[in-house]
Chains A and B, each alone.
Chain A
Amino acid sequence: MATTRDWLLDDSPSSRLQARLGRSYRLSHALARNPLAMVGAIIVLTLILVALFAPWIATHSPIGQDLAMRLKPPSWDNWMGTDELGRDIWSRVVYGARITLMIVALVAVLAAPVGLIVGAVAGYFGGWTDRILMGITDIFLSMPKLILALAFVAALGPGIQNAIIAIAIATWPGYARIARAETLTIRNSEFVAAVELQGASSFRVIVNHILPLCTSSMIIRVTLDMAGIILTAAGLGFIGLGAQPPLPEWGAMISRGRSFILDQWWVATMPGFAIVIVSLGFCFLGDGLRDVLDPKHGDRQ
């Protein structure tokens, strides 16, 4: 083990691969020293594992109804109780992790690259390109996220795919703003001037030299936004425009439990806990990543 560690931390790496691995090792080491970040990482990892192995972790079917068992409180048999159709809430929460993870991952994959590229192009070229692109961004940014998502879902029709597209459309402008701000600070640095003097094309400068410096703040921002994305998805589910029954989406589950909240508190509370814990996990992880990756906190690699 010691030799692997030495190899990774070698001050003068002998290959590109070793230099890169060494850097990731230092980063993960720094992350591991941050307790809150570790809590966040464990929560997110648990979410991923639960989503992957849902059929083995769930004790019941998430959609199987049993009207004789409706609205039972938490017990050995039903760990989180049952809902108004006698479905096991634990199993629904476990399967709901899949939906939540899918929403979060797809929104990140759709919105982050679009925002990154729009922002970097606007910041790099400046002038009219910047004005037009940022004008479009501002239009999207001026509307509240949930309202914008609502409008899109209303236009596209309710459903989980449309909710994902709507949330992605509402999220990218924030990323474009950050990427532009970051690009503006990098754009006039001498290392960019140096590659330009070597005859590099604008495409090459943006992709190879500017984007790599924007990605760490983007990763931080996306991770911190995951909580908001989960909440927006849950909000859409709650008002019936997100996942449709019988899909066990957490927001929709809370909405169903609302009618019994005083007498059968567990129906709405259990998915609520799930949302809170997962959102917190992403926030902690995002904060930890910021401490490790953010160049403004010093280059402590």
Chain B
Amino acid sequence: MNALAIDNLDISYGDSKVTHGIGFNVAEGESFALVGESGSGKTTVLKAIAGMAKSWTGSISVFGAPRSHGIDRGFAKQCQMVFQDPYGSLHPRKTVDATLSEPLAIHGIGDSGARVDEVMQSVGLDRRFRFRFPHQLSGGQRQRVAIARALILKPQMLLLDEPTSALDVSVQAEILNLLKRLRREQGLTYLMVTHNLPVVSFLCDRLAVMRHGRVVEIADVDQLKRGALVDPYSRELTKFSAAHLQN
């Protein structure tokens, strides 16, 4: 069964259409990347799946069930999102403990003490951080908290919105390793938005290249590594990314 199936998806903000006829499938347990330059509509696709961009036509189904145009509790338990900026995605007046217990309280799950402990351990956060406020944490620690918050409801799929682009390089590697390990341990499905192609080669199995709100190519990550992407725009993107890395 596909974890995520998107077909002919048109998303609009007000009167302007942002994406045109997007379609791709993500298998269960797969890690899939949406790449493209800024403004190509990749984050918008993520928002539509999550229920934050509400006006779209076409079809989105998650684990076989069609998505509604909003946020619902059942979906929240299957699929969670990690945001780009760990400085903006944590409530500044809530301790790590409060942030992590909130989803449990929303879904009426008891035993929050033990679950918070467990999830903090699995994302590699020491217990002494539990009652700290976000301003007492580093960027990498904050992103671990954000990942822990996404995982505490035990979802099968994570939507990752450039989860490392706001962090500095050494911390990026830590977070990527963490994401890789979590996926292996918990059999998660990832849908990741990024413009960083090395991150795609490291973490993903397949990718879709987006430009101006359309998918121009869907390829295996092997093709990316061999530089064997077919579409001229994708080739340009890889070339540019390689040149960027050398500088």
Contact = CB atoms under 8 A, between A and B. Distances in A.
B103 interface: yes
Given A16-B97, A193-B52, A199 B107 contact: yes
A18 B81 CA distance: 31
B72 A197 contact: no
A204 B52 CA distance: 18
Interface stretch (A51-59, A207-215, A226-234, A275-283): A207-215
Interface in B56-76: 71-73, 75-76
Contacts of B135: 299, 301
B29 interface: no
A299 B52 contact: no
Given A12-B131, A19-B133, A189 B88 contact: yes
A193 B92 contact: no
Nearest to A216: B93
Given A16-B95, A197-B80, A190 B51 contact: no
Contacts of A299: 92, 135
Interface string A189-208: 11101111111100010001
A105 to B, nearest CB: 26
Nearest to B74: A199
Contacts of A204: 106
Interface in A242-301: 295, 299, 301
B92 A295 contact: yes
Contact of B72 (A193, A195, A199): A199
Given A19-B132, A23-B133, A212-B93, A194 B107 contact: no
A15 interface: yes
Contacts, number: 87
B52 A12 contact: no
Interface in A1-38: 11-16, 18-19, 23
Contacts of B103: 195, 198-199
Interface residues of B, number: 38
Nearest to B97: A16
B52 A197 contact: yes
Contact of B102 (A16, A19, A208, A212): A208
Interface residues of A: mostly helix, strand, loop or mixed?
helix
B129 interface: yes
B71 A197 contact: yes
B85 interface: yes
A199 B109 CA distance: 13
Contacts of A193: 52, 83, 89
A193 B90 CA distance: 10
A14 B117 CA distance: 12
B128 A12 contact: yes
A194 B81 contact: yes
B136 interface: yes
A199 B105 CA distance: 11
Interface in B84-123: 84-85, 88-93, 95, 97-98, 102-103, 106-107
A213 B93 contact: yes
A196 B80 CA distance: 11
B214 interface: no
9 contacts: A16-B97, A190-B85, A191-B88, A197-B76, A197-B80, A198-B106, A204-B106, A213-B91, A301-B135
The 9 closest A-B pairs by CB, nearest first: A12-B128, A199-B73, A199-B76, A190-B89, A13-B131, A19-B131, A198-B103, A190-B83, A190-B88
Given A16-B95, A191-B91, A195-B103, 4 more contacts: A19-B97, A189-B88, A193-B83, A198-B149
